[in-house]
Amino acid sequence: MSDLLARIAEIEARAKELEERLADPAVAASPKEYAQVAKEFSAVRPLVDAGERYRRTRKELADAQAMSSESDEELRALARAEVDRLEEEREKLEAEIHQLLIPADPNDEKDVILEIRAGAGGDEAALFAADLFRMYQRYAEAHDWTLEPLSSSETGTGGFKEVIASIRGGRVWSRLKYERGVHRVQRVPTTESQGRIHTSTVTVAVLPEAAEVEVEIDPKDLRIDVFRSSGPGGQSVNTTDSAVRITHLPSGLVVQCQDEKSQHKNKSRAMKILRARLLQAMEDRAAEERATERRAQVGTGERSERIRTYNFPQSRVTDHRAGVTLHRLDEIMEGDLEELFDAVRDRLTDAATREARG
């Protein structure tokens, strides 16, 4: 565990440096710098505390191991019991420290842009896209989050080809970030007279909402087109050119909003979606660069696109990443997602912990 002790020593040295900076009048005179230093100090403090407990436990364990060699049988028995307890405590602390060493996700406190699109399965996929959107609405309501639809493309059957919304609240990204991927549904469509089960897919994208200062967009890089809004089947639903399509020329990203009757509101919503997509593209490129060497060693390593299956005939939901199956589909579709979310988070956190340990 010398490597772990070395990491703890590094963190302690950094904490001491941050504490000294907090006491520096020059730093205190700059509210922005002081807030940044205080935030970092607050983030490393749990590691420092865990490190102190870890060192103390190791010392107590060494003392107990020495006592286990005493000639007195009663003392040896007491020492062995203490060794067992302290070894268990040491293992728990090691696991806690390894988890604390995993870099925090800088986006965890951010709001998100949620994008749901019908995949394979035609009308049934569009209907399930609407079901998933309602599921996330219920989850947002339960957490006092604000969900605001930004753009949608409806079908004549009550489904969505695409629906985009912003969700604002406490630590939205930290809870919804693992929902990205392909969601598969197995059920009997209402139009199926033979009672046959169909399989359809819906894609879910969750993007951290980007502030203007995070993603600078040069107006010269944008092509903005306005046109009349259209509903299912292409019929016009607006007599003015209020719909907006924005094309980001350098990246080729295209965003379209037409739900509002105001051209200004549609443009504002489209820019919000564009900023989120550009931020995600930047982060994806950085992640891809970091993963290149590792992927070269272990193959593609990509998990299956299908992250979850919703089987209606068996009232069963299976998350393929967490390896968990729950037989209470009705409650889940009503937004009771905590058990699924916790299982996925714990599974992926465990994987990150193992990687941090090397």
pLDDT digit string (tens) for the chain, length 358 residues = 568 888 899 999 999 999 999 999 999 998 888 988 998 898 889 999 999 999 999 999 999 998 888 778 888 888 889 999 999 999 999 888 887 887 777 788 889 999 999 998 889 999 999 999 999 999 999 999 999 998 888 988 889 999 999 999 988 998 999 998 899 999 998 766 677 899 999 999 998 887 665 677 888 999 998 887 766 554 545 556 788 999 999 889 999 888 777 888 888 888 889 988 888 888 777 667 645 543 443 333 233 468 999 999 999 999 998 899 999 999 999 999 999 998 888 887 766 556 555 5
Q: Where are the beta strands (DSSP E) in the chain?
A: 112-118, 146-154, 160-168, 181-187, 198-208, 222-227, 243-248, 253-257, 306-311, 316-319, 324-326
| pLDDT value of residue 354 | 60
Two structure tokens written together for 22: 């907090």
Q: Residue 57: left (phi > 0), alpha (psi -120 to 50), or beta?
A: alpha
Which pLDDT score is estimated for 200?
92
Query: Which pLDDT score, from 0 to 100, does residue 296 have?
Result: 40
Give this prediction's pTM: 0.64
Confidence at residue 322, expressed as pLDDT on a 0 to 100 scale: 87
The pLDDT value given to residue 58? 93
Q: Which two tokens stand for residue 82?
A: 């203490």
> Which of 56, 107, 102, 65 is closest to 84 using CA atoms?
65
Domains of the chain, first to last? 2-101 (1.20.58), 108-209+308-358 (3.30.70.1660), 214-299 (3.30.160.20)
User: What pLDDT is attached to residue 264?
Assistant: 86
Q: What's the CA gap between 70 and 126, in Å, rounded? A: 74
